[in-house]
Structure 1
């Protein structure tokens, strides 16, 4: 049941990230400093990705890494930034839900402890009442025994 919901939420987040990526691309094209930062991030990512792939495949540093063109770097950078935003929002949402569920669990636990405390108090009170009733019953039995003995003595004397 939970898995389809997670898939739908993930799909929704991915689809909603497309306009964000498009706006980032437009902003990067309009603002040169932002665009150069995006290109720099994309070039660094490309070099790390290329190097790690070569190491995983067992190739050494035989050939230098060719940098991406500005357009390719801009597309890659905006896509990376968009994905980072999507994952950031997802992490924030998950942490919010986790904290909310923790808070609810704490409230439930406090309610349970209160109920247990009330029940323990009632059991203690019922125990005191029972002890009091046992004491009264013992007194009545003693009085009954005394009255029986007195009535026997009266009947013997008569």
Structure 2
């Protein structure tokens, strides 16, 4: 059974566009132009007034993000006693591509009940400095867009990529 393109979810469409841009056409076939697709954050809905009363905006519930994993969890992940149930590699991507892929990956992993994932940023190839994604990804994980998904994150152990990768603990799904 084939799936029609108009039935793809937003996350699937982002992922498809990233893959389609990297594909090379077969010999003798023309390349298909793939349009850019960017995930725009959706504005939060405003509550409607009840019985003509002026609307009072409810105070948004803030979720504290502890950036570092606890030592015991970090040790278990590095020794392989806690499974990494998913991994995403952001090597060679622009910031826009990496952000879209990371957001859709973490959203799908969270919806699937996955707790620990590995995000590979690479160490970067800039002269004398850190890579752009290596600096940006930890900052992204602390933004409001990722807060409902990410509980904490920390640098990976050497055998999982060291400073070029991050362990990410996702929040538990509410049932």
TM-score range, shorter chain: under 0.3
Q: What's the TM-score once normalised by structure 1's chain length?
A: 0.19
Structure label with greater radius of gyration? 1
Q: What's the TM-score once normalised by structure 2's chain length?
A: 0.18
Higher helix residue share: 1
